[in-house]
Each structure stands twice: as C-alpha cells, then as structure tokens.
Chain A
Amino acid sequence: MRYVPSRSSLLMAPALAWLAALMVVPCALVLALAFFRRGIYGGIDYTFTLENFGQVFDPLYAGIFLNSARIAGTATLIAVVIGYAAAYAIAAAPRRWQPVFLFFAVLPFWSNYLIRTYAWIVLLNREGLITQLLRWVGYTGEPPSMLYTEGAVIAGLVYNYLPFVILACYAPLSRLNPELAEASRDLGASAMTTFRRVILPLTVPGIAAGAVFVFVLSIGNFVTPALLGGGRFQMIGNLVYDQFLTANDWPFGAALAMALIAIMLLVLMAQAIAANRASGRIAEAEGNANG
C-alpha cells in the first residue's frame, strides 16, 4: 500500500526536473567547458584541449592550491580543538541546560555570513576595537596590522564555522553511554586515560564530520579571503571568481572549479570510509545506553 511507484514518481518529478535543469545540466556544462580553449576575445573556442587541467598544475596555481589547503587546514585544526572542547563542556552541563547552550552556540551560524565576517573587520582594522583596547591599557605605538593577514583569514574562517563543529562533536558526545567512562574509571584508568582511550576514539566520527565541513567550506571560500585577506591571500575560490568575472577565462575557471570539486569529493570519501568503519562501534556505544 505504501509503495506506490507511479504516485511517488509523480510527486518527485517537479523537484527532480528542477534539479536536473538547474544543477545537473549547468554542472555538466562547466565540466565540458573545462575541456575547451579560451577564445581570443575571452569567449570560448570549441576545440577540445586538456591544457586547462595542465594549467591547474602550473607552479603559480598549484601554489595557490597549497596555500588554500594550508589556510583551510589550519582553520580546521583550530576550529576542531575549540569546537570539541566546547561540545564536551556542553555535554557535561546539566541536562536541561544543554539544549539552551547548544542553541546559543549555533545561533551566530544563522546570521549573515558577510556580516559575521564584517564584524572581524571592525575588530581587527587599524583603528578597530582591539587597537582601542591596546590604547586603553597604555599602548602608544603603531597600531598592529592584523587585518589583511593570513591570521585574519584563519580567524574569520574559524569564527564562521565553529558552530558547526560544536554541533557535530556534541552529537556523539551526548549520546555516549556515561557508563563507559565509569567502567574505565572503575577498571583503574585516570580521567586523562579514560578520555584518550575511551571517549576520544568513540567520538572521532563527530570530529571527522566537523573537520570535513570546515575544510571543504574553507578551501572553496571566496568571501573571507576577499574581505579579511584584502585580496592579498588568494585562495581557490578567488581564483575561480577572477577567471569568470575579471580574467574572462571561463574554460580555465571551469577546470579550477572541477579541481575544487575533486578535492571535496576526495575528502568526503575519506570521511565516508572512516565513518563506515566507525559506525558499528558507535551504534554499539549508543545501544549500550539503553540497557
């Protein structure tokens, strides 16, 4: 009775058609674009070439890829450390407070990304709040240059994506059967050993999910490097933007976008494999809690 293929297809048809026309086809188009030559006047010359992909590995652009990966990686590491600590503290709070803390941890995530990034300009610029605070405690020298540095880009990325890491790490922490930690203590382990050998391994999937999210969104980011890096710290996202809107080299821009998608798929696949491996033991850790 529930399985009515024709009716279900009918219900899904409009949405799937929309996705096909406005996501699948355009993305396929970009993929195809990447195999064409750039036209003399910025248009597209429809002759097949692999040059664009070759250009991706040009030292200049490969350097930007590595730079993006380094910035995204650093932001991911910092966000995971802070986010995990916060999630742990929330999971350890009294039960009725946990949803409240969680709600307020995630709330900033839902305000406009541009505005959250802009807030850091206000904090970090030469006459910004941090400089004012330094003056206030008696600092008289040159205002420190904090804006338009790699540090500012990383701070912006961490700030923007931290709530998601908290959410991702909280899920397995809150579902962990507290008796597992007690069992470890009972068997003679210290609090530190219990964390290292029981709690941490069982919450790795949450860390992985959070890390993948931060990394994928950071490496393809275009707004944060543009605003907080002042254009000096180019990342892949800015490069793609430039090819489409400034340099007018769409085929190369398309090849860069495909490289970005490839990196993203690799990271997601690695996470899926890790999650698959861990899923059994996690189900067990949670199932135990129902005993």
Chain B
Amino acid sequence: MAERSPATRRMLWLVLSLVFAFLYIPIAVLVALSFNEGGLPTAWSGFSLKWYVSLAGNSAILSAALNTLIVALVSTAIATLLGTLLAIGVEMRRQYGKGLEALIFAPMIIPDIVLAIALLSFFSMLNLTMGLHTIILAHVVFNLAFVCSVVRARLKSFDWSIVEASTDLGASAITTFRRITLPVIAPAVIAGALLAFTLSVDEFIIAFFTAGAGRASTTLPMQIYAMIRFGITPEINALATIVMAVSVTALTLSQRLNRGITGQ
C-alpha cells in the first residue's frame, strides 16, 4: 500500500470518529439513562438499578417477553429445519431457474408492511383465529429464507466430492448426511438459527398485524411500540438495554461461528 500523507490519514480518522459517534451516541445515551436514578436526561441523579427492578415487576412486559421467546424459539426451530433442507436441495442441483432463486430471495426483500397485510388478509379470509401461532407461521416465512441463505453460502464452498467419497466407501445417503454433510455445515446452520432468532425477537410489523386482537399475544416489540407511543418512560431505557444486549450477544456468536467456518 502506498504511503498516505499525515493530513490524509488524520482526515480518515476524523471521518471514522464522527461516524462512530453518530452510530453509538444515541445508543450510549439510552444505556446510560437506564441506570439513571431520575431516569430522565434532565440531570444525572445517581446510579441505580431501580428501572430494571421495576421492569421485573411489570407483568405486561414479562408476559410480552415470554410470548416473544415462544415465537422466536418455535419459528427458529421450524425455519432452521426447513431452511437447511432447502439450502441443501438447491445447492445439490447444478442449475436452477431464476424463479426458484427469486422465490427464496423474496421474503428477505419484500417490504414488511406488504407481507404483514397479505398475511392479515389471508388469515382473516380463512377465518383463522389469530394469536401466537399465526405470528409463528408468519415469522417462519422470512426466517427460513435467512437460514437458507447462510447455509447456502457455506455450501457454495462445499466440496461435493467428499459426499461421493463417502458413498464410494459404502455409506448410505442418510449416514453420509449425518457423518459428512451435517458436521461440515453445522456451524452455518447454528449461525443461521441465531440470525433467525435475533430477527424474530426484533420483528414488529408482521407480528403486529398477525397477532390478532387482545393482549394475550402481544410480543415484546409490540409492547415497546405501545410504550414509546405513550411517551418516554425510564423503564423503556432499561428494557431497550436488555433487548440490545441479547441481540448483540446472539449476533456476535453468529459472526464468530461464521468466521470460524469461512476461516476469515
């Protein structure tokens, strides 16, 4: 790399610092306020965990958190199974149509609001009672697409001749999958599952439209949305901090796994 002048280098560092400040100051303020006794940005009145404590006593939030966990776990489990099988099925083929590619890609790019109203119309036309189960049905749609894309990325560099070698050595298709294919793609499958879990935990619009009436099926993002519309409360800061910590942990794990397999 050619040497850069000190002025250029200072300029580049300045850009980086400003961008990172822009990205992190809003989040940092939230996190800081969640530990503020007074809870408002007007003044720092001392470190306190009281907002976390009050969160623990808020039954609406706790039940929403439980709902979110149920939706995320079930939809991730289904999506991981279906998405992985889909990825293997697609990559096994030497060629596939553009239509198939578009179909798998569509759930990732279709605007949330469109999928949300489409599912709402569909469920109400079927006279289906909506609740957590309909949110799960909906979340699997985009989750399986994301799992599929992560696993496919791994399979692109998969040496299919090792499958042939296993067959040549006398293993059945099932044994080959269990002993050869699965161990190789396992990190990608787990990474995909973590990604799906994160997306599901954070998803708001589709859940909002497919949850049906009543509080019973309120998820955490729906609860947060309601609270924000109501106004700033210090409890949201605490809740936001926890939610961010969970997503960031899941994402970091997912990245680690992905890096482990691609060797970057």
Q: Which residues of A contact B (CB under 8 A)?
A: 1-5, 7-12, 14-16, 18-19, 22-27, 29-30, 33, 82, 85-86, 88-90, 92-93, 99, 101, 103-105, 107-108, 110-123, 125, 127-129, 132, 159, 162-163, 166, 178, 181-182, 185, 191, 216-217, 220, 222-223, 226-227, 237, 240-241, 244-245, 250, 253-254, 257, 260-261, 264, 268
Contacts and interface: CB of A to CB of B under 8 A. Distances in A.
Given A3-B92, A261-B110, 11 more contacts: A2-B92, A2-B164, A9-B89, A19-B104, A89-B12, A89-B19, A216-B109, A220-B113, A223-B204, A257-B114, A260-B114
B111 A216 contact: yes
A254 to B, nearest CB: 7
Interface in B1-53: 1-2, 4, 8, 12-13, 15-16, 19-20, 22-27, 29-30, 33, 40-42
Q: Which 6 A-B pairs have the closest CB atoms?
A: A11-B89, A12-B89, A220-B111, A119-B26, A26-B118, A15-B86
B109 A123 contact: no
15 contacts: A2-B92, A7-B92, A15-B86, A18-B82, A88-B15, A104-B20, A104-B23, A115-B240, A118-B224, A122-B26, A122-B237, A159-B23, A162-B23, A250-B121, A264-B109
Given A29-B122, A110-B198, A122 B173 contact: no
B140 to A, nearest CB: 6
Contacts, number: 243
Contacts of B4: 92
Majority SS at the chain A contact face: helix
Contacts of B190: none
B236 interface: yes
Given A22-B141, A82-B22, A122-B29, A114 B221 contact: yes
A10 B228 contact: no
B15 A111 contact: no
Given A15-B148, A89-B13, A114 B228 contact: yes
B156 interface: no
B257 interface: no
B248 A123 contact: no
A107 B248 CA distance: 7
A108 to B, nearest CB: 5
B264 interface: yes
Contact of B228 (A103, A118, A123, A128): A118
Given A14-B85, A127-B40, A101 B16 contact: yes
B125 interface: yes
